[in-house]
Each structure stands twice: as structure tokens, then as C-alpha cells.
Amino acid sequence: MQKRDREATRARLLEAARLRFAREGYDATSVRDIARDSGVDATLIFRYFGSKKQLFDLATAADVPAGLLDGPQEELVARMVRTVVEHDWTAYGGEHPLVAMLRSSAHEDARRRIRDEVCATYVDALRDLAEGEDAELRAELLSAWMVGIGILRSVVATPALAGASAADLDPHVAAVATALLGRPMSGAVAPAGER
Amino acid sequence: MQKRDREATRARLLEAARLRFAREGYDATSVRDIARDSGVDATLIFRYFGSKKQLFDLATAADVPAGLLDGPQEELVARMVRTVVEHDWTAYGGEHPLVAMLRSSAHEDARRRIRDEVCATYVDALRDLAEGEDAELRAELLSAWMVGIGILRSVVATPALAGASAADLDPHVAAVATALLGRPMSGAVAPAGER
DNA sequence: TCCGTAAGTCATCGAACGCTGACTTGAGTG
DNA sequence: CACTCAAGTCAGCGTTCGATGACTTACGGA
């Protein structure tokens, strides 16, 4: 094992950048902060990534949990809520990356990336489930709920939601998803064996 | 009418600050930006407001629309959604101030202010409406939905929600509010004459 | 053992940041 | 007209920002 390991250093910088950008947003994060966290010199950021902006783009690139779209349709919303509430996002400061990226939403680039990912990952899948007239709108309203839950949980830290587990939310997930999609939805995710 | 009008200049600075802080967040806004927008010198900001931080606190101070809590209880959620969708927030860059303030959520101060206002204005009122066991959690879940709607509408600009009117949302507001609160809720706000 | 190459450091740049104190301007008063 | 005092300007403080290029260090093949 080398002491000087380009790839390892690059990876450490990327990891530190992910954490900083998620926690504090683009503007409040300096390249010196990231370098200090990684224990290396700040100039390596420019050597390896070109610019702060390019590092940001790389560090906040989408990272959709595998298996979100697998499994029973009636549990899709419950699975999505679980990626917000239970998934291990410690690499992003403990928040869903989309929620974290909202801190940088002053930049149109970041907004567009958020929009693309929200639509591609959540709205598109939900639209197929919604039946009836304005499926798109209802899919977006459900996506809005999950984004809002993520924000109130971690950013705003509202008392009950901050401490709620996915199981606490299950019955309400079922009620809202059923009401919005117009078809019976489950609030819990059944273990693989029971499928 | 004076050309040199302390109060008018102060008001212009405050207005420009409100717009900038809402649109771009605390860090991405410089006092020089605000001064340029107002057509005055940047140093007046320190003369009139003490510091950038104090100006921020003043500019983003809560501004709850009057009459939110008046009117029939079953229309409360519909009224809240209307403050997100229809209220004139042009002074805050066209977004609900809470949504705009999320751009500055890297600062604990701003987070605390958001939490206080969300709880005081929305969660508290909704908790009283919710019946049964976990009223607090359900009130927060409904608040989360409205916050999420505001974000997907203006920040993320998701296709259907960005162009939706309050009337478009009415049926879905009724469905979700009823499902979460466990009591019949109306999606529309009846004109005063019909009460 | 030597030496080329690549990893990592150092000094520093110009611009922009928030903020301060000394200065100039102009409206109102006697 | 002379004077006052507040409104507004200006130059610059010390700091930090993103970024650059010359330099030093150390690994690995010859």
C-alpha cells in the first residue's frame, strides 16, 4: 500500500466534499474546508477535479438506492418513504441528498439537477401507478410530500417527525398514498419472504 | 419631497435585501449586491442595520397572511395551501418566505427560525384539528406536505405543480387532509357570503 | 544506486468579502 | 447668508475566496 495514492486521496476529497456540500451548501463550503477534512493540500482539488464547481457536480451526483423500483407496486410509496427515513445517508450528512442539495438551490444548475432527479426517480414511477385524469399532478403531490417529510425531519427538525421511525409513519403513508393515487396502497414494506 | 430620505432609503435596502436573500440565500448575497439593487452605497447597510446578519434577520422576519386562522375549521388546510400557491410573495422572489429561507438553512439560526415559524403557524393550528392518538405527528406530516408543495412548485419547478392553480389542487387537498386528520376536510375555500 | 515521474506542498496571485472611519454634500433653520 | 447636522460617499482595512505555477518529496524500474 502506497502512502501516496492518487485514487485514495481523490476518493477522500470526494467524500469530504460530499459531506461539506450536503451539510453547508455550495457557497458556505470552501475548498480549504474540504482539503482540511481530507488532510491534504487544497491545491489538489484543482489538480484532480478542475474547479470547485466540477467537484460539486461530482460530489452531488445522483445516488439512487438499488431496488427502489423492485417489489410489489402497492409498496412503492412505502419503499420511497423508507429511503428518506431509514436509508443510511451519513455520507451526505444524514440527509437525503436531494434535501441536502436544496441548500445550494440558489444556483440554477443545482435546481435543474434536483428537478431532473426528482422527476426521473420519483414522479415517473408514481405517475405510472396513479390512475385517472391528472396522474402527473398527483404523482408530483406525492413526491412533494416525501420531499417535505425529508425537510421537516432533518432540516427543520420538527419535534415528532425528527424522531419518527418508518414504522410510525406506515399507517399514514398508506392513508395518503391511497387517497392520492386512488388505489389501495400499503404503508409497510413486507419482508422478502412474505411476497 | 426630499431627495435624501432616510426612511425611504432604508425601506429600499430592506426590500432589495428581502428579494436577494430569498432568491439566492444568505451566503450568495453580498451587501454590495443589495446596495447596487437599491442604488445606494453599501456602507449605508451597516449604518442602518448594523450588520449583514441583522439585515438578514429583519428582511426574513415572519410575515403571516392575515386571516389564515379565521373561517371554518374544515377549510383550514385549504386556506394554508392557498397561502403557498396563490398568495402574492413577489417581495420574496415569488416563493413562500419559508421556502426561500431554506436556501439559508446551512445556518443554525435560520433553521431555528424556520422551525419556530412552521410550528407556530402551521403545526399548532393543525394539531388542534387532528383527532386521535398521534395528532402531533399527523399535523407535522400535513405541514410537510405543504412545505413540499411549495418547494416542488417554485424551487424544483416540477412540470405539473409549477403551473397548477389552487383550484386544481382542491380535490387532492380535501382527500389528503381528510385522510391524515381523520375528519372531513374541504379542499376549497368558500366565499365569505356562503358561510 | 540512480533517476524519472508523479504525488503532494508552498508561496502567492487578484478579486471579493464584511466592515470602519474620515470625508463631502445638501436640506432646513435662524 | 451662514451655520448645523444628518445623509450619503470614498478609500481602504484585514480577511478569505478560488485558482495558478514553481517547487519538493518519494516510489519504482533500470
- Which CATH number covers residue A21? 1.10.10.60
Residues 142-161 of chain A whose Cβ lies under 8 A from any Cβ of chain B: 143-149, 151-152, 155-161
Question: What is residue A195's predicted lDDT score, i.e. its pLDDT?
Answer: 46
Least Cα distance to B34 among B23, B48, B45 occurs for B45
CA-CA-CA-CA torsion sign (B23, A93, B120, A146): positive
Please tell me whether residues A55 and A77 are part of one structural domain: no
Question: What is residue B3's predicted lDDT score, i.e. its pLDDT?
Answer: 60
Cell of B117: 415559524
Quick one: A90 exposed, middle or buried, by C-beta within 10 A (0-12, 13-18, 19+)? exposed
Given CB atoms, is A135 within the 8 Å cutoff of chain B?
A: no
Separation between Cα atoms, residue B180 and residue B160, nearest integer Å: 23
Please tell me whether residues B180 and B113 are part of one structural domain: yes
Cell of B46: 451597516
Please tell me whether residues B18 and B77 are part of one structural domain: no
Are B104 and B21 within 8 A, CB to CB?
yes
Please tell me whether residues B142 and B100 are part of one structural domain: yes
B28 domain-assigned: yes
B64 domain-assigned: no
What Å value separates CA A100 and C1' C1? Answer: 54
The one-digit pLDDT tens for each residue of chain A (195 residues) are: 446 788 999 999 999 999 999 999 998 999 999 999 999 999 999 999 999 999 999 999 877 888 888 999 999 999 999 999 999 999 998 889 999 999 999 888 899 999 999 999 999 999 999 978 899 999 999 999 999 999 999 999 999 999 999 999 999 999 999 999 999 999 998 886 654
Please tell me whether residues A187 and A106 are part of one structural domain: yes
Q: Which residue has the cell 470547485?
A: A52
Domain enclosing residue A37, as ranges: 6-59
Cβ-defined contact of A137 to B23 (cutoff 8 Å): no
Digit-coded pLDDT (tens) for B56-113: 999 998 778 888 889 999 999 999 999 999 999 999 988 899 988 998 998 888 999 9
Distances (CA, A) of A32 to A16, A37, A38, A152: 11, 9, 10, 31
Are B158 and B66 within 8 A, CB to CB?
no
Query: Nearest CA to CA, how far is A1 from chain B (Å)?
Result: 38
Separation between Cα atoms, residue A91 and residue A23, nearest integer Å: 10
> Among B52, B53, B156, B161, which would you mutate to test the A interface (most chain A Cβ atoms within 10 Å of its Cβ)?
B156
Are A154 and A95 within 8 A, CB to CB?
yes
A171 domain-assigned: yes
Please tell me whether residues A42 and A92 are part of one structural domain: no
Q: Which nucleotide is nearest to A44 (CA to C1')?
A: C8
Q: Round the average pLDDT of chain B to a whole number and report it.
A: 91
Please tell me whether residues A112 and A40 are part of one structural domain: no
Of B134, B155, B179, which is closest to A176 when you measure between CB atoms? B179
- A99's enclosing H/E stretch is helix A97-101
B67 domain-assigned: no
Of B25, B28, B148, which is closest to A147 when you measure between CB atoms? B148
Separation between Cα atoms, residue A24 and residue B131, nearest integer Å: 38
Quick one: B37 exposed, middle or buried, by C-beta within 10 A (0-12, 13-18, 19+)? middle
Q: Which nucleotide is nearest to B6 (CA to C1')?
A: D7
Given CB atoms, is B185 within the 8 Å cutoff of chain A?
A: no
A1 domain-assigned: no
B87 domain-assigned: yes
Separation between Cα atoms, residue B96 and residue B90, nearest integer Å: 9
Q: For residue A112, give the chain B residue with the closest CA.
A: B156
What Å value separates CA A59 and C1' D17? Answer: 20
Of A106, A137, A138, which is closest to B25 when you measure between CB atoms? A106
B52 CB closer than 7 A to any strand D atom: no
Digit-coded pLDDT (tens) for A29-86: 999 999 999 999 999 999 999 999 999 999 998 778 888 889 999 999 999 999 999 9
The residue type of B184 is P
Angle, CA of B143, A69 and A57, to the nearest 5°: 75
Quick one: average pLDDT of B37-43? 90
A65 domain-assigned: no
Separation between Cα atoms, residue A193 and residue B49, nearest integer Å: 63
Residues 165-184 of chain B whose Cβ lies under 8 A from any Cβ of chain A: 168-169, 172, 175-176, 178-180
> Among B77, B104, B105, which would you mutate to test the A interface (most chain A Cβ atoms within 10 Å of its Cβ)?
B105
Question: What is residue B115's predicted lDDT score, i.e. its pLDDT?
Answer: 96
Question: What is residue A4's predicted lDDT score, i.e. its pLDDT?
Answer: 73
Please tell me whether residues A167 and A96 are part of one structural domain: yes
Per-residue confidence band for B192, with pLDDT thresholds at 50, 70 and 90: low
Using a CB-CB distance cutoff of 8 angstroms, which residues of chain B are in contact with residue A179? 175-176, 178-179
Are B156 and A115 within 8 A, CB to CB?
yes
Separation between Cα atoms, residue A36 and residue A41, nearest integer Å: 7
Given CB atoms, is B96 within the 8 Å cutoff of chain A?
A: no
Query: Nearest CA to CA, how far is A18 from chain B (Å)?
Result: 14
Using a CB-CB distance cutoff of 8 angstroms, which residues of chain B are in contact with residue A134? 160, 168
What Å value separates CA A173 and C1' C9? Answer: 54
Q: Collapse the DSSP code of B185 into the 3-class scheme (helix H, G, I; strand E, B; otherwise coil) and give the result.
A: coil
Per-residue confidence band for B1, with pLDDT thresholds at 50, 70 and 90: very low
Please tell me whether residues B21 and B84 are part of one structural domain: no
Please tell me whether residues A102 and A180 are part of one structural domain: yes
List protein-proximal bases of chain C (any atom < 7 A from a CB).
Answer: 6-11, 16-22, 26-28
Please tell me whether residues A148 and A174 are part of one structural domain: yes
How many domains in chain A? 2
